[in-house]
Amino acid sequence: MMGRMTRDSGDEQALTDLDLTRLLQTLTVESDRYAERFGAHHGLHRTDVNALALILAAARRGDHMSPTALARELGLSPSATTALIDRLEALGHVRRARPAGDRRRVALEVPEAALEEGRRMFVPLAAAFAAAWTGFDATEREVVARFLEVSTEAMREVGAEWGHDDPQRRR
């Protein structure tokens, strides 16, 4: 059971921007902890977990994630990306494949066994979220979705200011 958060203002009706920021920070910390537990359970570094999430997101969009695109997304050097992919491949979490039509390209795929392992970890989380959201009607869900989308975009924009243009910074 969750406790009530302390609001920035004395008004129990109005959430301030700071209240919402703190709620997002709390969600982010819990999300990070969950991902870290997943990684620890599977012998993965945090960057490995992030890489898997990016590869899966690309697959959901119908795109192939290449090692070059992964390096760019993670801000890693080519050699660090190769080491990361080698680790994931050795553990059975990804495989290098050649897309039909262009045998020169390499696409990163997640094998079915690794997908199933991920489902065992994340389906219960999805079910817990669904149970927590049962009290939200369609209109409220639209507002929450819009809030999360614009908040995510704001984080991307501010995060881009920190940048990782120089892959040599993260090896």
Query: What are the tens digits of pLDDT across the range 57-67?
Result: 888 888 889 99
Same domain, 136 and 69: no
**Alpha helices in 61-137, H assignment, sequence order:** 67-74, 78-90, 112-132
Q: Encoding tokens for residue 123?
A: 């389906």
d(C-alpha 165, C-alpha 136), whole Å: 41
Whether residues 103 and 133 fall in one domain? no
Q: Distance between CA 105 and CA 119 in Å, rounded?
A: 29
What pTM was computed for the model? 0.75
- Report, in this order, helix, strand and coil percent for the chain, each rounded to 5: 65, 5, 30
* Dist CA 56 CA 43 (whole Å): 18
Residues 49 and 84 reside in one and the same domain: yes
Instruction: Identify whether residues 84 and 133 lie together within a single domain.
Output: no
Q: What's the pLDDT score for residue 9?
A: 55
Indicate if 44 and 71 belong to the same structural domain.
Answer: yes
- Residue 5, pLDDT score: 56
**Residue 85: which of 105, 106, 103, 112 has the closest Cα?**
106
Q: Are residues 96 and 136 in the same domain?
A: no
My answer on whether 101 and 42 are in the same domain is: yes
Number of structural domains (the chain) is: 2
- Mean pLDDT, residues 135-153: 96
As a residue count, the chain comes to 171
Q: Does the pLDDT at position 162 exceed 60?
A: yes
Q: Does residue 100 register a pLDDT over 90?
A: no
DSSP reduced 3-state for 65: strand
Statement to judge: residues 106 and 126 lie in one domain: no
Does the residue 25 lie in any domain?
no
Distance CA(104)–CA(66), nearest Å, equals 11
Same domain, 131 and 101: no
Tokens for 143, please give them: 């507002």
The answer to whether residue 8 scores a pLDDT higher than 50 is yes
Question: Do 40 and 100 reside in the same domain of the chain?
Answer: yes
Give yes or no for a contact between 63 and 49, defined as CB atoms under 8 angstroms apart: no
> What's the chain's average pLDDT?
86
Integer angstrom CA distances of residue 132 from 3, 104, 127 = 14, 47, 9
Domain span at 66: 35-110
Domain boundary among 68, 85, 110: 110
| Co-location of 45 and 80 in the same domain | yes
The verdict on 91 and 131 lying in the same domain is no
Is residue 42 domain-resident?
yes
